[in-house]
A and B are shown apart, each in its own frame.
Chain A
Amino acid sequence: GAVVSQHPSRVICKSGTSVKIECRSLDFQATTMFWYRQFPKQSLMLMATSNEGSKATYEQGVEKDKFLINHASLTLSTLTVTSAHPEDSSFYICSASGANTEAFFGQGTRLTVV
């Protein structure tokens, strides 16, 4: 079946630095990618939706300058958490969807900002 690879699975960074998370579709062309954030034992919160080659659409309350999303190709989208702070520590998950496929999830990235 289709596979979405998310990297890294865990990252620890210092406060004030930036962290990039990659989401790759391995065997299909992902025309749309979704980025989610999950706090412990809570539901996934959609952060933004990106279509290949265009700017991401952010959900209300999500800072676009802090969470930079790039979807430059049909197999790769990146989420960059800029100037990270401890409150950004969370679990981030991507989901990729192709033109004729359902959405497939990455395994998530545990970000810890110290």
Chain B
Amino acid sequence: DQQVKQNSPSLSVQEGRISILNCDYTNSMFDYFLWYKKYPAEGPTFLISISSIKDKNEDGRFTVFLNKSAKHLSLHIVPSQPGDSAVYFCAASRSGNQFYFGTGTSLTVIP
């Protein structure tokens, strides 16, 4: 049973535009969420996180939005750069314990 879903397997965006990656979850008890990115042939690397007490967290070009009522979070990258081309995973946990990961969205930023 997939508790965290990334329904878009791929996304293409023009350089300089906004990239929006979406993630939905089913368990209302999740209170901590993370985004990771992965380049080919490398391991995933942490990008940004958000706890359920917030609805937005910003770090440079990356902003994560959390909509608890909709059980939805999104990652915004503005402006998108070719180096952002990678696979992005969202993950959710309850109190930092067992993590559940989405299957990833492959982002391609076109120069």
Q: Do A49 and B100 touch across chains, with their CB atoms under 8 A apart?
A: no
Specify the chain A residue showing the minimal Cβ separation from B38: A103
A102 in complex: contacting residue of B49, B51, B104, CB < 8 Å: B104
Q: Does B87 have its Cβ within 8 Å of any Cβ on chain A?
A: yes
Contacts between the two chains (Cβ within 8 Å), count: 56
| B46 near A44: Cβ-Cβ < 8 Å | yes
Cβ of B103 within 8 Å of any chain A Cβ, yes or no, is yes
Centre residue among B38, B49, B101, B106 by max chain A CB count within 10 A: B101
When C-beta atoms are compared, the residue in chain B nearest to A39 turns out to be B96
Q: Is the CB of B36 within 8 A of A44?
A: yes
Residues of chain A within 8 A (CB-CB) of B99 are 91, 93, 105, 107-108
- Is the Cβ of B49 less than 8 Å from the Cβ of A43? yes
Q: B43 within 8 Å of A by Cβ?
A: yes
Query: Chain A's nearest CB lies how many Å from the CB of B10?
Result: 11
Contact with B along A84-96 (1 / 0, CB 8 A): 0000000101010
| Contact indicator B87/A102 (Cβ below 8 Å) | yes
Give Cα distance in the complex from A43 to B106, angstroms: 21
User: B98 interface residue, CB < 8 Å from A?
Assistant: yes
Q: Select one of B38, B46, B51, B104 contacting A43, CB under 8 A.
A: B46
For the complex, is B21 an interface residue (Cβ under 8 Å from A)? no
Chain A residues with Cβ below 8 Å from B32 are: 41
The answer to whether B104 touches A46 (Cβ under 8 A) is no
- Nearest B residue to A109 via CB reads B98
Docked Cα-Cα span, A95 to B97, in Å, equals 16
Per-residue CB contact flags for chain A residues 31-62 toward chain B (1 = under 8 Å, else 0) read 01010101011011010010000000000000
* Shortest beta-carbon contacts, A-B, top 3: A43-B46, A34-B43, A105-B101
20 further A-B pairs in the complex, CB-CB below 8 A; given A102-B103, A105-B99: A1-B103, A32-B43, A38-B96, A41-B32, A41-B51, A43-B34, A43-B46, A43-B49, A44-B34, A44-B44, A44-B46, A46-B45, A49-B43, A91-B99, A93-B99, A102-B87, A103-B89, A104-B103, A107-B100, A108-B98
